[in-house]
């Protein structure tokens, strides 16, 4: 089970609130959505939310999803919720989760998903380029950069 304790994060009411929102969510949430959801229970500054999300990401318990709209979205990253593609609607902007799938099944997805009309498939692979990997061995600044 995913708790702050076994993620090695000291327990505060704000962190608990953010974690619970994300655990309850069925799709990735933006920071503004997270804050609005918490507002009913507690009060929390937006900076604190960003810091908590950054911490959660460093501990590997959440994932960040980039959207073309500018805002980032966050979702729980556990074994029960493995990496999976997302569908973002061009019209309403909603971001929903698709079933996790091996890459060989990607063409099937494109052909079979007839409740979506797909007009753009974006594959973003992130990591470290050759240039940065080389300089990484000497520099220490590598793992400090967020995104």
Partner DNA sequence: ATAATTGTTGCAACTCGGTTGCATTTTTGA
Partner DNA sequence: TCAAAAATGCAACCGAGTTGCAACAATTAT
The answer to whether 51 contacts DNA (rule: CB under 7 A) is yes
The answer to whether 88 contacts a second copy (rule: CB under 8 A) is yes
17 contacts 42 by C-beta, under 8 angstroms: yes
Residue 20 interacting partner from DNA, a second copy, none (CB closer than 5 to 8 Å by kind): none
**Quick one: which segment of 28-36, 110-118, 121-129, 134-142 binds DNA (CB under 7 A)?**
28-36
Q: Of 64, 17, 63, 25, give the one whose Cα is nearest residue 44.
A: 17
Identified binder of DNA from the candidate list 39, 45, 98, 128, rule CB under 7 A? 45
Site for a second copy in 55-84 (CB under 8 A): 64-70, 72, 83
Other C-beta atoms within 10 Å of 63: how many?
Answer: 18
Cβ closer to a second copy: 41 or 108? 108
What is each CA distance from 4 to 12, 42, 52, 60, in whole angstroms? 9, 18, 11, 12
Query: How many CA atoms are closer than 13 Å to the CA of 63, on its beta-carbon side?
Result: 18
Identified binder of DNA from the candidate list 31, 76, 97, 109, rule CB under 7 A? 31
The answer to whether 47 contacts a second copy (rule: CB under 8 A) is no
Instruction: Tell the burial category of 79 from Cβ atoms under 10 Å away from its Cβ (0-12, 13-18, 19+).
Output: exposed
Q: Which residues of this chain interact with a second copy, rule CB under 8 A?
A: 64-70, 72, 83, 85-94, 96, 98, 102-104, 106-107, 109-110, 115-133, 136, 142, 145, 147
């Amino acid at each position: 089970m995913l708790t702050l304790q076994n993620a090695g994060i000291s327990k505060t009411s704000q962190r608990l609130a953010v974690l619970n929102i994300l655990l309850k969510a069925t799709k990735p949430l933006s920071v503004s959505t997270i804050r609005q959801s918490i507002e009913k229970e507690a009060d929390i500054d937006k900076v604190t939310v960003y810091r908590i999300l950054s911490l959660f990401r460093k501990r590997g318990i959440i994932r960040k999803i980039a959207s073309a709209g500018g805002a980032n979205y966050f979702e729980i990253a556990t074994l029960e919720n493995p990496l999976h593609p997302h569908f973002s609607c061009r019209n309403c902007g909603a971001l929903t989760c698709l079933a996790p799938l091996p890459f060989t099944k990607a063409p099937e997805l494109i052909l079979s998903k007839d409740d979506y009309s797909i007009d753009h498939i974006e594959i973003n692979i992130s990591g470290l380029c050759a240039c940065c990997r080389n300089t990484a061995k000497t520099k220490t600044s590598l793992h400090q950069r967020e995104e």
